[in-house]
Amino acid sequence: MTTDRGRGADGERAAAVEVRPVAGHIGAEITGVDLAGGLDDDVVAVIRAAVLRWKVVFFRGQRLDHAGHVALARRFGEPVVLPRRGKASPPDFPEIETTADRLELGGRFGMDHDEWLRRRRHTLLRGWHCDHGARVDPPAATILRAETVPPYGGDTTWSNLAAAYAGLSAPVREFADRLRAEHRLGVGYQPRPGDDAYVRHLLDRQTASEHPLVRVHPETGERVLFVNGYYVEQITGLSRPESAAVLEMLLEQATRPEYTVRFRWEPGSVAFWDNRATVHLAPGDTAHLDHPRIMHRVMLAGDVPVGVDGRPSTPLVGTAPGRW
């Protein structure tokens, strides 16, 4: 699909941008754009529309440095500045968080990388998440670029939560529309027997919010099945057994293969996704590879989710709108 704005130099540049869907419900590759070159308003509008329509868009062969990455993010919103970042993150760019899996996870909290993954993903659905979903105002979007990737493996998968909601039967949609759920940092982690340094770390940084189980997207108006495997602990008002059964059903719906897209990273690849309408699954197949995977992330500040009934999310502990 080629989008033609059709007026002046900006329109000519926008007309050269091609948005090619790569899966039936989610994902598109965008060509004809140099993300480091400074984007005019028409090209920004094309990219923004593609993100809203396809939920995640991909660019290849980009030459962004840290400054260019931050400048790109500012064309679409306000970058989040995290109070704490991993040691691999660049000190002069507080908007950027660097994830260097083998460097960051190996040896932390007394666990090697393999054990870390096993405890975070002790069920098939636990790894699926949106970024910072336990906050009362999760980020609106994430822009992730690849610096170094393994020669094979390391793919990321995204799922379209608006399509997942639409795919539910009408009675289940009506049921889910009325529900709210507690999202809490660390509930997807399976503790070690005895003392666990990571559990102490989580308790020191506890974050939790009550979100609508179905949120209304603030830009598209779509209803979004607002569930994920890593943060959602309990559906409000349901018993533990009822909540567990409903959540498993909804998580299975949210991650059905037909609602997903899988992306093969290359150095210079960039993924830009709507964190309000997707969950994603980071790779778990590279721990045994003797090759680093270094990625740089900038997140855009988001709003407080609102349910079908118009009620916003509420903070429970450790979170407030706009305060990181």
Point out the residues that are catalytic: 129, 131, 280, 297
Note whether 314 and 136 are within 8 A (CB).
yes
